C-alpha cells in the first residue's frame, strides 16, 4: 500500500517540478523570440552591406556620368545665351545615339544606387520563410492599442499560410506600413507578398523590443503590467 502520496512532500515536489517546466518553457520562448530579432537584424545588415558594396563598385560609372552631364549642361547654357540650336551643342560633345544610351544607363544607376537599401531586403526572403510560418503559429501574441495594426497583419499572414494563399488579400491591414516601406509594399498589381511579410515581421521585432507587443509565457517579452 502506498502511504502519504497525497501529503505535503508530494505536493511540494509537484509544484517544484511545474515551476521548473514553466521556467524552461519561458527560456525556450525567449530564445526563439531573440533568434527572430537577430535574424531580422542580420537581414537588414546584410542588405545594407551589399548595397554599399554595389554603390562603391558603380562609383566610377557615376562619376563619369556626372562629368558628362556637366559638360552637356555647360554647352546648353552657352547655346541658350547665344541663341544657338541646343541639339548640335549636345552632339558636339557626344553623338546623339551615345547620349540616348547614357540616359538609359543613368536611369539604371539612379534606380539601383538609391541611398535607401531597403529594396535589397527581399533577397533574404527565402531564408525568412523557412521559419516564419512555424514561428508565428507557435506563440500567442498580444498587443497594446498602438501596435494592434501589426498584430492584425500577423494574423493575416497566419491565415494566408494556413490557407496556402500566395497573394495578399486586397483588404489586408496596412496601417502598420511605414512611409519608408510604402513604395515597396504597394504596387500597381496590389500588395507585394514579400515586402508585406518582411515589413510585418520587422515591425513585430520592433514592437517586441519596445514592449508594445508581448507573448504569453515569455519572461523577457511579457506584458509590463504582469
pLDDT in tens, 195-207: 999 999 999 999 9
pLDDT in tens, 4-13: 444 566 555 5
pLDDT in tens, 151-174: 999 999 999 999 999 999 999 999
Which of 166-172's residues contact partners 24+ apart within 8 Å by CB, and which partners? 166/193, 167/191, 167/193, 168/192, 168/193, 168/196, 172/196
pLDDT in tens, 138-151: 999 999 999 999 99
Q: What contacts 68, CB < 8 A, 6 or more positions away?
A: 93, 94, 102
Name the pLDDT band for 225 (thresholds 50, 70, 90): low
Q: In the chain, what are the helix, strand and coil shares in percent, each to the nearest 5?
A: 70, 5, 25
Q: What is the pLDDT at residue 5?
A: 45
Helix or strand run (H / E) with residue 42? helix 8-57
Task: Give the distance between the most distant pair of CA atoms in the chain.
Answer: 116
Q: What contacts 190, CB < 8 A, 6 or more positions away?
A: 167, 168, 170
Amino acid at each position: 500500500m502506498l502511504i502519504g502520496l497525497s501529503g505535503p512532500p508530494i505536493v511540494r515536489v509537484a509544484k517544484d517540478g511545474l515551476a521548473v517546466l514553466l521556467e524552461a518553457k519561458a527560456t525556450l520562448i525567449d530564445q526563439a523570440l531573440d533568434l527572430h530579432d537577430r535574424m531580422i537584424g542580420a537581414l537588414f545588415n546584410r542588405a545594407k552591406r551589399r548595397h554599399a558594396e554595389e554603390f562603391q563598385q558603380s562609383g566610377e560609372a557615376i562619376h563619369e556620368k556626372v562629368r558628362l552631364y556637366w559638360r552637356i549642361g555647360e554647352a546648353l547654357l552657352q547655346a541658350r545665351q547665344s541663341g544657338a540650336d541646343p541639339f548640335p551643342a549636345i552632339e558636339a560633345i557626344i553623338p546623339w545615339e551615345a547620349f540616348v544610351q547614357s540616359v538609359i544607363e543613368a536611369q539604371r544607376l539612379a534606380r539601383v544606387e538609391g541611398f535607401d537599401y531597403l529594396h535589397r531586403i527581399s533577397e533574404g526572403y527565402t531564408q525568412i520563410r523557412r521559419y516564419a510560418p512555424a514561428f508565428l503559429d507557435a506563440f500567442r501574441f498580444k498587443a497594446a492599442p498602438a501596435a494592434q495594426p501589426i498584430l492584425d497583419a500577423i494574423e493575416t499572414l497566419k491565415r494566408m499560410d494556413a490557407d496556402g494563399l500566395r497573394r495578399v488579400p486586397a483588404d489586408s491591414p496596412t496601417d502598420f506600413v511605414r512611409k519608408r516601406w510604402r513604395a515597396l509594399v504597394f504596387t500597381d498589381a496590389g500588395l507585394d507578398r514579400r515586402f508585406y511579410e518582411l515589413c510585418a515581421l520587422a515591425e513585430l521585432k520592433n514592437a517586441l523590443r519596445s514592449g508594445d507587443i508581448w507573448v504569453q509565457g515569455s519572461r523577457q517579452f511579457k506584458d509590463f503590467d504582469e
